[in-house]
Amino acid sequence: MANRSVALYRYVKTKSGAWKRLPVVMSANGRLKADVVLEDGVEVAYPVGHYVLRRYEGSKTVWVTIEGGSNVAMAELRAAQKKQQAIAQAKTVGVQVVEDFSRKTLRQLFDVFVQAAEDRGSDEAAELYRYTADEFLMGCTKTYLEELEHADVARFHGAMRKAGRSDRTISNRHSHLRSFLVFAGLDRDKLKAIAGPTPRYEKALPEVYSQEELDMFFQSLEEEYDQLVFDVFLQTGFRERELTHLMWPRVSEKNLTLMVRSNTIWKFKPKDSEQREVPVTRGLMDRLMAYKERHPKAKLVFGKRGGEVDEPEGHLLRRLKIKAKYAGLNCGVCAGCCAERKECEHWYLHKFRATYITTLLRNGMDVRTVMKLSGHSDLESVLRYIRPAEDHEIRAKIAEIKWR
C-alpha cells in the first residue's frame, strides 16, 4: 500500500532550469533547514522557490502551496500531521471521519487576515501580524478556530516571556491576536473567554532614530530612489500610504510644499480625511525636481521598481529592513533579528514619523503647528512625542546656567 502520510517538499528551480518538487531536509534537532532540499541524495540549498505540502483527498494526491518561510512551513506540516493522527485514531475504534477540505485552518485564516491588511495598504501592520501568527502557531496545538481555549493564549504569553519578549511586545502581540479573533468572527462572549484581558505594560515614549543611526543608514544608501524615499519620510512625517500615493501635481516647487490629498486613481484617502500641506527645505525640493526630470512620464513620485512603474509601492517596510540589515544596523537580539529573514524590529517606517514630530518639538515649534503638519486630529496624540532632551543637550544647558 502506498505511503499516505503528509510530507513537506520545496518547489525549486534546479540548476538545470527545471522546476521540481524536492523533499526538505531536517536537522538533527528536528528543525527545518531553510531552503535546503535533498536532490539525488545530496543536500542542496535553493533560495528561489516555495514550500508545498503533500496530502491526499481519498486516492488523489494534492499539493498545497505554503505562503511563508520555514517556520510557517513547519507549522503547516505539524497541523496536517495532527489531523492525520486524529483520523487514524478514529479509524481504530471504528469511527469514519469525513474530511471537509473547504474548512479553513488557523494558518489559512491568519493568511487571509494578513492579506486583508496588505490589501488596504497597511503593510507595516501586515508585517507585525505575520510575526504574531508565526509565533502563536509555532506553540499552538490546535488546528481550527473553534478548538481554541484561553489556555492557548496563556501558553502564548508564557512562551513569549520565556523568549525574553518585553511587556510591551507581549501586549502588542496579544492585541494582534485579539484583532485576528475578531476578524475570524468570534462573538463578544467567546472572544472575552478565549483572549482574556490585554496584558498591561509601562507606556514608554515613542521610539525615534538617533542621529548616529540616521547618519549610518543614509550613508549606506546607494540608490537615489532610497535616498529620496527615506529622506521624505524623515523630513515630512508622512504616513506610509501618504507617501506611496503622493502624485507629482501635489509637489509645489513654488511653495516648497508636499500636499497630502485624496488619490481617486488608487482609491486613497488621508487618515481622518484630513488634507494638509507640509513644507520642505529647498535642498530636498531641488532633489525631487531633479528626480522628476529623470522620470518625466510618472504620475506617482515613488512608484514601484524604483519609480519606474505607476503603481503604489507596497514593500517599503521590507525595503527599509533590508537596507538597515546591510548597513549593519540590526540590533541582533530582537525577534526579527533572530528570525529567518533577520529583519530588525527596531527599524520601521512609523519611527521616521516619530523622529520628525520629536525634532519639530525639540526645535521649539508650538504643539498646535506640529499637530497641523503631522495630520493629528488631537493635541494629546502630539503631546506623547514631547520627550526629555538627550544627555549631552542637558549637560550643555546646565553648563550655561549661572547659579550664583
Among residues 167, 195, 223, the one where a domain terminates is 195
Among residues 40, 59, 92, the one where a domain terminates is 92
Torsion of CA 371, 372, 378, 384, to 10 degrees: -10
User: Do 293 and 340 belong together in one domain?
Assistant: yes
User: Do 262 and 358 belong together in one domain?
Assistant: yes
The secondary element (H helix, E strand) that includes residue 337 is helix 335-338
Q: How many separate domains does the chain show?
A: 3
pLDDT at 2: 42
**For the chain, what percent of residues have pLDDT higher than 90?**
45
How do residues 165-183 score in pLDDT, each as one tens digit? 888 889 999 999 999 999 9
Across the chain, mean pLDDT equals 86
Domain-embedded: residue 322? yes
Domain membership of residue 47 as a residue range: 7-92
C-alpha span between 79 and 61 (Å, rounded): 18
User: Do 239 and 376 belong together in one domain?
Assistant: yes
Domain-embedded: residue 204? no
Least confident of 59-68, 105-114, 355-364: 59-68
Report the pLDDT averaged over residues 35-58.
85
C-alpha span between 303 and 48 (Å, rounded): 25
- Model confidence band, residue 102 (pLDDT cutoffs 50, 70, 90): low
* Count helices and strands in the chain by DSSP H and E runs: 17, 11
pLDDT at 3: 46
Burial level of 397, CB count in 10 A (0-12/13-18/19+)? exposed
Give whole-number Cα distances, 142 to 102, 103, 135, 138, 344, in Å: 17, 14, 14, 10, 29
Q: For residue 237, is pLDDT > 50?
A: yes
User: Do 26 and 113 belong together in one domain?
Assistant: no
User: Do 47 and 154 belong together in one domain?
Assistant: no
Domain-embedded: residue 101? no
SS3 track for 145-191: HHHCCHHHHHHHHHHHHHCCCCHHHHHHHHHHHHHHHHHCCCCHHHH
pLDDT at 389: 60
pLDDT at 48: 80
C-alpha span between 117 and 266 (Å, rounded): 16
Closest by Cα among 94, 93, 99, 60 to 80: 99
Q: For residue 84, is pLDDT > 90?
A: no
User: Do 255 and 366 belong together in one domain?
Assistant: yes
Give whole-number Cα distances, 127 to 252, 316, 352, 377, in Å: 33, 11, 17, 26
Domain-embedded: residue 189? yes
User: Do 219 and 360 belong together in one domain?
Assistant: yes
Domain-embedded: residue 269? yes
Q: Among positive and negative, which fits the CA dihedral 182, 186, 189, 195?
A: negative
User: Do 287 and 373 belong together in one domain?
Assistant: yes
Among residues 139, 161, 195, the one where a domain terminates is 195
Q: What is the Rg, in whole angstroms, of the alpha carbon atoms belonging to the chain?
A: 25
Domain-embedded: residue 224? yes
Whether this model's pTM surpasses 0.85: no
The residue with greater pLDDT, 403 or 35, is 35
Burial level of 177, CB count in 10 A (0-12/13-18/19+)? buried
Q: For residue 336, is pLDDT > 80?
A: yes
How many Cβ atoms are within 10 Å of 345's Cβ, its own excluded?
Answer: 19
User: Do 78 and 112 belong together in one domain?
Assistant: no
pLDDT at 24: 92
Domain-embedded: residue 327? yes
How do residues 114-154 score in pLDDT, each as one tens digit? 888 877 767 678 878 988 998 999 889 888 899 999 999 99
Are 198 and 344 spatial neighbours (Cβ–Cβ below 8 Å)? no
Instruction: Count Cβ neighbours within 10 Å for each residue of 14-53 and write b for 16 or more, e otherwise.
Output: eeeeeeeebebbeeeeeebebbbbeeeeeeeebeebebbb
C-alpha span between 270 and 388 (Å, rounded): 31
User: Do 231 and 345 belong together in one domain?
Assistant: yes
User: Do 138 and 217 belong together in one domain?
Assistant: no
User: Do 295 and 369 belong together in one domain?
Assistant: yes
Residue 268 is part of a domain; what is its CATH number? 1.10.443.10
Domain-embedded: residue 205? no
pLDDT at 56: 78
Are 114 and 127 spatial neighbours (Cβ–Cβ below 8 Å)? no
How many Cβ atoms are within 10 Å of 278's Cβ, its own excluded?
Answer: 20
